[in-house]
Amino acid sequence: MERKMNIRTMPQVDHLLSGHGACAGCGMAVAVKNIMRILGENTTVYVPASCLLVCSGMYPHSAFDVPFFYSAFENTGAVISGIKAGYRRQGKDVTVIGIAGDGGTFDIGLQALAGAAERNEDVIYVCVDNEAYMNTGTQRSGSTPFGAWTTTTPVGKKIKGKRQFKKDLMAVITSQDVPYAATLSIAHMNDFVMKVEKAKNKKGFRFLHIMTPCTSGWKTDPSITYDLANLAVETGMWSLYEIEDGETRITYRPKEMTPVSEYLKLQGRFRHMGKEDIETLQAWICKKWKKRYCPTNPETERTEEELAYNGDHCEGV
């Protein structure tokens, strides 16, 4: 039986090198460094306008030691499709990856992303999701959570942060029947490594969605990035699952849901939130949680584990 890669057996050769300009405690830097270790040297990287571009590709230098391209904010899906086509014409089998932020994925780049997914391009698209346009000054995106402060969802007497909930981007992507899509967390590295390895070894369009805490935009201490990533999963703000050839598999289930207030209180972007808004966000999380983990459709086939996992942890939180 083939052994799957894990955090102990993964390659340790870096292709995102030290000396890049990411902030201390940057979740994106942790995610990208480990992705590149797994994908290896036979990889070409494309990055649109984003924090990653600024910290890794300030002309004339690059922190990547593999071929690295960048272009406009909205073009990730189109550019990686073109790069792969160029290699294909040369008869070369090279892993082509696009790494974009949530602004360049949820919003500005959604059309090109959807086109690449619909065509089933043989590429890997990674969204490093820090839940706002951090590179341009912390403006809200379609990924920004309910209640969060940003410079375009300010906190005042009448409006207190963003009033809309986070877009379900995975539902948009997987509606196009892509071969593989998964959510990842830098706090669950064995799960992270196995999913990146699986994406590397598959063909067709692969989508990896990674929560990457941002110390400046989230107004947090750099030393708690891992704790934030972990609490996001334990509170249900971030769920870990994969959809492979149309089949959904939950890859981690917290034993008991932690109240979302424990996650919010560590972040300055939520400091203004009152009891009513916290309860509104908690209700949204529980509704999403039960829909994903605890389907009620009697025709849905469920494992014994899923049947036992009834979501009662959401009651009374």
DSSP per position, 227-256: HHHHHHHHHTSS--EEEETTEEEE----SS
Structure tokens at 161: 């942060």
pLDDT of res. 291: 78
**What is the dihedral angle through the alpha carbons of 76, 81, 85, 88, rounded to the nearest 10 degrees?**
100
Residue 144 to residue 134: CA distance in whole angstroms: 11
Q: Which of 191, 211, 195, 194 is nearest to 267 (CA)?
A: 211
pLDDT of res. 314: 63
Superfamily of domain 27-273: Thiamin diphosphate (ThDP)-binding fold, Pyr/PP domains (3.40.50.970)
State the Cα angle at 124 between 122 and 125, rounded to 5°.
Answer: 125
Per-residue pLDDT of the chain (317 residues; tens, 9 = 90+): 355 788 889 999 999 998 888 999 999 999 999 999 999 999 999 999 999 988 888 778 899 999 999 989 999 999 999 999 999 999 999 999 999 999 999 999 999 999 999 999 999 999 999 999 999 999 999 999 999 999 999 999 988 999 999 999 999 999 999 999 999 999 999 999 999 999 999 999 999 999 999 999 999 999 999 999 999 999 999 999 999 999 999 999 998 899 999 999 999 999 999 999 999 999 999 998 887 766 544 444 545 444 444 444 465 44
Model pTM above 0.75: yes
What distances in angstroms separate CA 217 from CA 50, 138, 214, 285, one per listed residue?
14, 6, 6, 22
Structure tokens at 185: 């967390």
Any idea where the domains of the chain sit in the sequence? 27-273
Tell me which DSSP letter residue 2 carries.
Answer: P
* Terminal alpha carbon distance of the chain: 43
